[in-house]
Amino acid sequence: GDSVTQMEGPVTLSEEAFLTINCTYTATGYPSLFWYVQYPGEGLQLLLKATKADDKGSNKGFEATYRKETTSFHLEKGSVQVSDSAVYFCALSGSARQLTFGSGTQLTVLP
Amino acid sequence: DADVTQTPRNRITKTGKRIMLECSQTKGHDRMYWYRQDPGLGLQLIYYSFDVKDINKGEISDGYSVSRQAQAKFSLSLESAIPNQTALYFCATSDSKREARTGELFFGEGSRLTVL
């Protein structure tokens, strides 16, 4: 079945540092890939998405590129802010047409 | 007001009690979902409903039941709560017309359930 593996946290960075959160997936066919973010005390919200190979999703300074050859969708941001502190979830929508989530990565950004 | 509202937001109960978590939405979406979140496990799908008459089990439905009372309302019940059902529960909605293109779910703020 479909599965998503993302790097374990927690991740702690200083403000303005570079962020990478790794995400790899297993799926049949051509899934769509997503990053969701969960700010403290809130539900998840869509951060960015990519629907086909080599697509780059971007939003709020975050980027991720759909790499079919490496089955990866790593999340990056060049300069993180304290307000980026949250839990980040990688997810895919595959043949089952349901979202499959990774386990989440807690990010803390220190001033 | 939130587009997806969950009640209660927090609940502490005892083993064996019946619990109902309610979800209502004002987004006009046809699809609704219940997820469970445990630390380190991400989100697991409990049940989902594509419309009022279409309800499906997710990956962890044992011990849970649901009711889609109307397009805007989707309730999750624990008939006899047990301690390992202690978790954060999320309701989510989507628009089937848009989901094929965007895959976007809209989440409520969560209901924290503790079973003693």
Q: Which residues contact A19 (CB under 8 A, 6 or more apart)?
A: A11, A13, A75, A76, A77, A80, A84, A107
Q: What number of other Cβ atoms are within 10 A of residue A69's Cβ?
A: 7
Residue A105 sits at the chain B interface (C-beta within 8 Å): no
Average pLDDT over chain B reads 92
Is A6 in contact with A22 (CB distance < 8 Å)? Answer: yes
Closest approach of chain A CAs to the CA of B14, in angstroms? 24
- Residue B69's CB: how many other CB atoms inside 10 A? 11
Scanning every residue of chain B, which has its alpha carbon at the shortest distance from the alpha carbon of A92? Answer: B103
Cis omega (within 30 of 0) on the bond before A31? Answer: no
Give yes or no for a contact between A76 and A62, defined as CB atoms under 8 angstroms apart: yes
For residues B1-9, give the mean pLDDT.
88
Which helix (H) or strand (E) element contains residue B99?
Answer: helix B96-102
Whether residue B97 has pLDDT greater than 90: no
Which class for B55: exposed (0-12), middle (13-18), buried (19 or more C-beta within 10 A)?
middle
Beta-strand (E) ranges in chain B?
A: 4-7, 10-13, 19-25, 31-38, 42-51, 54-57, 65-70, 73-78, 87-94, 106-107, 111-115
Chain B residue numbers touching A23 (CB-CB < 8 A):
none
Which residues neighbour A13 within 8 Å (Cβ) at sequence distance 6 or greater? Answer: A19, A80, A107, A108, A109, A110
- Which residues does A31 contact at the CB level (< 8 Å), separation at least 6? A2, A25, A92, A93, A94, A95
- Please report the pLDDT score of residue A96 as a whole number: 66
- Percent pLDDT > 90 in chain B is 82
Q: Which residues of chain A have pLDDT under 50?
A: none
Task: Give contacts of A103 with chain B, Cβ < 8 Å.
Answer: 40-42
Confidence class for position B102, pLDDT limits 50, 70, 90: low
**pLDDT (tens digit per residue) in B28-66:** 999 999 999 987 778 899 999 999 999 999 989 999 999
Among B5, B44, B47, B104, the strongest candidate for a mutation testing the A interface, having the largest count of A CBs within 10 A, is B104
Q: Which pLDDT does position B81 carry in this prediction? A: 96
Residues with Cβ within 8 Å of B100's Cβ and at least 6 positions away in sequence, in order, are: none
